[in-house]
Structure 1
Amino acid sequence: MKSIVSVKMFGKTIGPQSKSCVLTAEQIAKDVKAVSSNEVHRNKLYQCLNMEPPQNNQLLKIEDFLKGTDNLEDIKGQLESLIDQVEGFVQRIGEDIENIEKKASECKN
């Protein structure tokens, strides 16, 4: 495995230079296993590779649940407002029915 290194000579940076690194398959497997078992090291590796670390699905599910809970609070407020409006309509309709019944009884007399 070769790594790329920039060399600075006489105040100027010279292009990437190859630097060899000899690792056995066992060493690589051991290192991968060590990195993958530690979340901090795994996240650092992803950052070095300019990749985002894998998303924790449980956290995403919790965030979605909390957003849903916030939405439920908003919906609850809307429903309570609608219930108040309906109760107002019921009261007005009841009053209108009483007025109609009074007028109907006056017309009969």
Structure 2
Amino acid sequence: GQICGGLLTGSKGTLTSPGFPHFFRAGLRCTWVVRAQPHNHVYLRIHEVQLQGSIANCRRAELSIYDGYSPPKQPQHKLKSFCGDLHYYRNHGDTVLLSQRNRLLVTF
């Protein structure tokens, strides 16, 4: 499948799938590392999610956020997963995350 992602540093930024706001292509795999300055934290707010499937069925597409980042196949602390559409996540607390350290890993 197609690969996307990258490294995001600085005080703020935006992550989107290729071609946003249009639908993504099947087989798309994205990995972003979001890194703040040392001794700071990353605040992530989800503005829009439209994935195939539903909140009860993440097999088709899932947006996952991990605290920190590790080499492939190493255990990571998953903070949150999103499936389906953003309307499933009604509370403000459902769509915001704060890292424990200065980095997050976002996969799609």
Query: Which category of TM-score, normalised to the shorter sequence, fits these structures?
Result: under 0.3
TM-score (norm. length: structure 2): 0.19
Q: Rg larger in 1 or in 2?
A: 1
Instruction: Tell me which protein shows more strand as a share of its residues.
Output: 2
Relative contact order: is structure 1 or structure 2 higher (C-alpha 8 Å, sep ≥ 6)? 2
TM-score (norm. length: structure 1): 0.19
